Amino acid sequence: MIICSSVTRSKDKMEDAMAAIAAAGFKDIDLIAINKWAHFDPADLAADFAAITKRAENALKANGLTMRAMNVGMNGQMHDRKKETVESNLKELDALCRFMKHFGAKNCALQPLQKDPGRDAADVLKDSVDSLEEYYECTLKHGISLGLELHVHSPFESVEAARYVYERIPEATVVFDPTHFISMGGSLKDCEYVMDKAVHVHIRDAAEDMIQTKVGEGSVDFEWVVTKLLARGYKGHFSIEYLCNEEWDALAEAVKLRGILEKWIS
């Protein structure tokens, strides 16, 4: 199923973002809740679950949308293993899982936030994977499929980091998003090996040194991505994740990409 990420309207409040996405002809949404950025803060959800759930419920209903997935990021860095940070992050993730269950959404992308340039990279990665193990335990308890984003500028941006994750957690699952590899000078084939671990897909166009481009201006071969995933038995969603920006309309590009993807995805 092709769905639209609310990141296309990340500068709007949740209700307005949903209205715009529905007006663009989408029926299914991938809702972001990444710390204090958009579309709500997981800490606020943990503090007042009923209020934010009601807001989302009303907005979805008003716009005829179904929430199929989420893209989340807690307030504490994954590599911060202080007791209070660990407990706070797990409390936020637990609330997010209950929120997803309420709406019947089963796939959750984890934004792993940033690296720590002041520490040894191997230590940062180890601490981040310690947290990741706890996150998988939390989401599994709720029946949610958690996919780690191998995100540029995060502790997990390199192929070597991904392999370390698999060594530590062989059953680890990921979000397949080739744009992070491509923006760092890699190719689609460089990230093909993670396809078998994908429980969710983020898709847009991108080029070297550019995390996104308008459709057709980058080097992402959409047919290759879709056919390779489907050949591997991938049955999850394809979430169009164009980031809201000042240069061009991210939602308009999402509509263009939907038209292309519909050639191969029913």
Instruction: Provide the sign of the torsion angle of the four alpha carbons 205, 222, 2, 52, taken in this order.
Output: negative
The predicted pLDDT at position 191 comes to 87
Within the chain, what is the greatest distance between any pair of CA atoms? 49
Residue in this structure with the two tokens 């396809």, named with its chain if needed: 195
The predicted pLDDT at position 215 comes to 98
The predicted pLDDT at position 190 comes to 84
The predicted pLDDT at position 126 comes to 98
The predicted pLDDT at position 224 comes to 97
- The structural domains of the chain, ordered by start, are 2-261 (3.20.20.150)
Residue 26, class by beta-carbon neighbours within 10 Å (0-12 exposed, 13-18 middle, 19+ buried)?
buried
CA distance 216 to 199: 26
Buried b (16+ CB within 10 A) or exposed e, 204-221: bbbbeeebbbbbeebebe
CA distance 100 to 68: 9
Gyration radius (Cα) of the chain, Å: 17
The predicted pLDDT at position 8 comes to 98
pLDDT tens over the chain, length 266 residues:
999 999 999 999 999 999 999 999 999 999 999 999 999 999 999 999 999 999 999 999 999 999 999 999 999 999 999 999 999 999 999 999 999 999 999 999 999 999 999 999 999 999 999 999 999 999 999 999 999 999 999 999 988 899 999 999 999 999 999 999 999 999 898 889 899 999 999 999 999 999 999 999 999 999 999 999 999 999 999 999 999 999 999 999 999 999 999 999 97
Model confidence, pTM:
0.96
CA distance 87 to 90: 5
- Is 100 within 8 Å of 60 (Cβ atoms)? no
- Other C-beta atoms closer than 10 Å to the C-beta of 121 total 15
User: What does the DSSP 8-state code read for residue 38?
Assistant: B
